Amino acid sequence: MKRIGIDVGGTNTDAALLDGDRVIAAVKTFTTADVTTGVRTALKEVIAKAGPAADDVVAVMIGTTHFTNAVVERRNLGRAAAIRVSLPASASLVPFCDWPKDLAAKVNGGIYLVQGGHEYDGRPLMPMDELAIAKAARKIAADGVGAVAISATFSPLTAECEERAAEIVRNEAPDVHVTMSSTLGRIGLLERENVALMNASLIGLARETTQAFVDAVADSGLGAQLFITQNDGTVVKAEAAREYPVFSFASGPTNSMRGAALLAGIENAMVCDVGGTTADIGCLVNGFPREANNVVEVGGVRTLFRMPDLLSIAVGGGTKIGRDPVTVGPESVGYRLAQEAMVFGGAQVTATDIAVASGLIRLGDTARVAELPQDFVAAALKKMHDNISEGVDRMKTDATEVPLLAVGGGAMLIPDAMPGISEVIHVEHNEVANAVGAAMAQISGETDRIYRDMDRDEAIAHAREAAIDAAVASGADRATVKVIDVEDLPLSYLPGRAIRTRVRVVGDAAAMRAEVPA
Query: What confidence tens digit (pLDDT) does each residue in 229-285 have?
Result: 888 778 888 888 889 999 888 777 888 888 999 899 998 999 999 988 888 899 998
Position 60 in a domain: no
Position 163 in a domain: yes
DSSP string, 282-346: EEEETTEEPBP-S-EEETTEEE-SS-B--EEES-STTEEEETTTTEEEEEE-GGGHHHHBGGGT-
| Collapsed DSSP state (helix, strand, coil) of residue 85 | strand
Q: What is the CATH number of the domain that holds 454?
A: 3.30.1660
Position 394 in a domain: yes
Q: Say yes or no: 420 and 470 in one domain.
A: no
Q: Say yes or no: 454 and 427 in one domain.
A: no
The model's pTM is 0.77
Q: CA–CA separation, 101 vs 95, rounded Å?
A: 13
Q: CA–CA separation, 275 vs 252, rounded Å?
A: 10
DSSP string, 359-398: TS---S-GGGGTTS-HHHHHHHHHHHHHHHHHHHHHH-SS
Domain carrying residue 461: 441-515
| Collapsed DSSP state (helix, strand, coil) of residue 315 | coil
Q: Say yes or no: 414 and 479 in one domain.
A: no
Position 167 in a domain: yes
Picking from 406, 436, 466, the residue at the C-terminal end of a domain is 436
Q: Say yes or no: 320 and 404 in one domain.
A: yes
Picking from 382, 413, 436, the residue at the C-terminal end of a domain is 436
Position 108 in a domain: yes
Q: Say yes or no: 428 and 445 in one domain.
A: no
| Total domains in the fold of the chain | 3
Q: Say yes or no: 93 and 129 in one domain.
A: yes
DSSP single-letter state for residue 442: E
- Burial class from Cβ neighbours inside 10 Å (0-12, 13-18, 19+) for residue 327 reads middle
| Collapsed DSSP state (helix, strand, coil) of residue 213 | helix
Q: Say yes or no: 333 and 416 in one domain.
A: yes
pLDDT tens, position by position, 431-468: 888 899 888 767 888 888 878 788 889 999 999 999 99
Position 321 in a domain: yes
pLDDT tens, position by position, 170-219: 999 999 999 999 888 777 899 999 999 999 999 999 999 999 999 999 99
Q: Say yes or no: 83 and 198 in one domain.
A: yes
Q: Say yes or no: 478 and 419 in one domain.
A: no
Of residues 329 and 15, the one with the higher pLDDT is 15
Q: Say yes or no: 144 and 179 in one domain.
A: yes
Question: Nearest 5 degrees, angle CA 135-CA 141-CA 145?
Answer: 125
Residues 60/63/66/69 CA torsion (nearest 10 deg): 180
pLDDT at 4: 94
Q: Say yes or no: 453 and 420 in one domain.
A: no
Contact in structure between 118 and 124 (CB atoms under 8 Å): yes
Q: Say yes or no: 482 and 431 in one domain.
A: no
Position 79 in a domain: yes
